Structure 1
Amino acid sequence: MIGFIWISLALLTLWFGVVLTKDYLNHKNTLENSSWIKTSAIGFAVNFFDVLGIGAFAPQTALLKFTKQTEDKVIPGTMNVANTLPVLLQGLIFITIIEVDPLTLITMLLSAMLGAIIGAGVVSKLSEQKIRLTMGFALLVTAGFMFARNLEWIQGGGDAIGLQGGKLIIAIVGNFFLGALMTAGIGLYAPCMALVFTLGMSPQVAFPIMMGSCAFLMPPASIRFIREGAYNRKAAVAMAIPGVVAVLIAAFIVKSLPLDILRWVVIVVILYTSTVMLRAAYLNTNNK
């Protein structure tokens, strides 16, 4: 079963790589005015801490917003495209080293992928104002999950490595919606972990499920953004390459860091960015 997942992820990586490379080369003379250095640093930082449990999307939104590296409208697409290769690598690592019931794992991965394909088609067509509203509320939700996790409100008492019957159906449906929401900028890790814990599965099992879900959903979702032209090409490529290096360093060299204080700092930054996004959307509405 692991072999099937490896082959599937390898094919998704190849498919995504071909589509991204072709699109980038077709537009290499009209790239956006983003900084290679700043976006590369952002890509490395967020993917490094993503492996260690911080999550990538929320801090990445904040950093892109603060450094003014891309328009608000294309932030969701840019993040999905930029993080696809690093997340594929994460998925391969954690699916290999942590045991999960094959039926539970595969059905949750496929449902997340289907949700992302549908969600990306919707998000890529939203106006800048709707993107700001969506991102603003998405960041609030993400901050809420991180806050609950920091206070240990989200805990897992189960030890199951798989689900059956009604619980499996709930997991499949839940992961479908989480996959769709991820394309709008709501990170999947925290809510997926909460879902896994609530259904009585082992906390350790959450890692291959949530990282594998992202690995399966992001290539098709990102390809949808690429074909719609709803992403910043220069920023996405600049963040992707150092992001892969960061994953390797975090997974095999660093492994763990004292991140409690950093998580609280990230929550504050996320809330500030959410406020900025919602305020911009509000002012744009009033100026019409």
Structure 2
Amino acid sequence: MVLVVQIILAVVLIYFAIIFFADYYKHRHENDGNIVVAGVIGFITNFLDTLGIGSYAPTTLLLKVTKYLKSDKLIPGTLTVACTIPVITEAFLFIDAIKMEGATLLSMVAAAAIGSFTGSKIMTKFNEKIIRIIMGIALFLTAVLMLLSQLGVISALGAGNTALGLHGGKLVIAVVVNFILGALMTAGVGLYAPCMALVYMLGMNPAVAFPIMMASCAVLMPVASREFVKSGDYNRRGSMGITIGGIIGVVIAVTFVKSLDLTVLTWLIIVVVTYTGLSMLYQGIKQKNAA
């Protein structure tokens, strides 16, 4: 069953790469940012993603700090498009490391992909004011989830769990929730932490969360990215730079970094992401009231 998932990943990777590179080549003369700066951002954030911190919140943070994007409306699309290939790379490297029931894995992955398609359709229709509010809330929720994870609350939910798959009502719940998480990911809410909490609360072995999270993201992101590429609601040069730097970051993290104390860095990211999220939320509300 893992082979089936890997084949699916290979297909969506090729499909997305063709769409993304074709769009980039078509608009290659557009100067919408420094690709080297984007590459550095991609390297850092996807390196951290491979080590378990996540990439969406840090990438949003660095895009804001460097003032890379001309409009916050481009954040959801840029995040999704830019991180797609690095995340698929992660999935290929990790997906077969942990065994679980294939039916559960495929069901949850499919649900996340369908959810992301639905979410991306909605996100491309929002203006910058709404995007700011959504991203502000998304970043704040991400910070809360990171905090709960850092405090051990989420991992405590999985203590003693042994199930390697779900059946009946629990599987239905998992599919429905992963559909919602897939949709929310297109708004900037990372899937890793809430998906991990879901897996734990349904009684599954904590280790099973990793193939579910990685495969879900790896499949849903190309689906959502297609809509952003189609609408043009993303930064092309930035996405290409983050993609290239991200792949390098993932490979280096997997190959050379066996262990790294990320405690202080994680706390710092939580604080800064919280501030960034609240700032965007304030700006969005203020802009909306002024409209």
Shorter-chain TM-score bucket reads over 0.9
Deviation per residue, 1:94-153 (Å, 9 max, x gap): 211111110110000000000000100100111000000000000111111111111111
- Alignment check: 8 A CA contact 1:78 1:235 kept: yes
- Alignment check: 8 A CA contact 1:31 1:233 kept: no
CA distance in 2, matches of 1:53, 1:228: 31
- Alignment check: 8 A CA contact 1:52 1:255 kept: no
Q: Which residue of structure 1 lines up, in the alignment, with residue 21 of structure 2?
A: 21
Q: Which residue of structure 1 lines up, in the alignment, with residue 267 of structure 2?
A: 264
Q: Which of 166, 177, 181 is matched with 1:174 structurally?
A: 177
Q: Which residue of structure 1 lines up, in the alignment, with residue 132 of structure 2?
A: 132
**1:277 to 2:276 alignment:** no
- Alignment check: 8 A CA contact 2:16 2:226 kept: yes
Q: Which residue of structure 1 lines up, in the alignment, with residue 107 of structure 2?
A: 107
CA distance in 1, matches of 2:284, 2:44: 28
Aligned-pair distance for 1:61?
A: 0.6
- Unaligned 5+ segments in structure 1 are none
Q: Which residue of structure 1 lines up, in the alignment, with residue 202 of structure 2?
A: 199
**Residue aligned with 2:29, SS:** helix
- Alignment check: 8 A CA contact 2:137 2:278 kept: no
Number of residues of Structure 1 aligned to a counterpart in Structure 2:
287
- Alignment check: 8 A CA contact 1:104 1:162 kept: yes
Q: Which residue of structure 2 lines up, in the alignment, with residue 247 of structure 1?
A: 250
* Identity across the alignment (%): 47
CA distance in 2, matches of 1:201, 1:3: 22
Aligned-pair distance for 1:251?
A: 1.7
- Alignment check: 8 A CA contact 1:72 1:132 kept: yes
RMSD: 1.0
Runs of 4+ in 1 over 3 A off after TM superposition: none
Q: What does 1:110-189 correspond to in 2, within 5 Å?
A: 110-154=110-154, 155=156, 156-157=158-159, 158-189=161-192
CA distance in 2, matches of 1:173, 1:286: 35
Aligned-pair distance for 1:285?
A: 2.3
Deviation per residue, 1:143-185 (Å, 9 max, x gap): 1111111111112120211111111111111100000000000
CA distance in 1, matches of 2:200, 2:88: 23
TM-score (normalizing by structure 1):
0.97
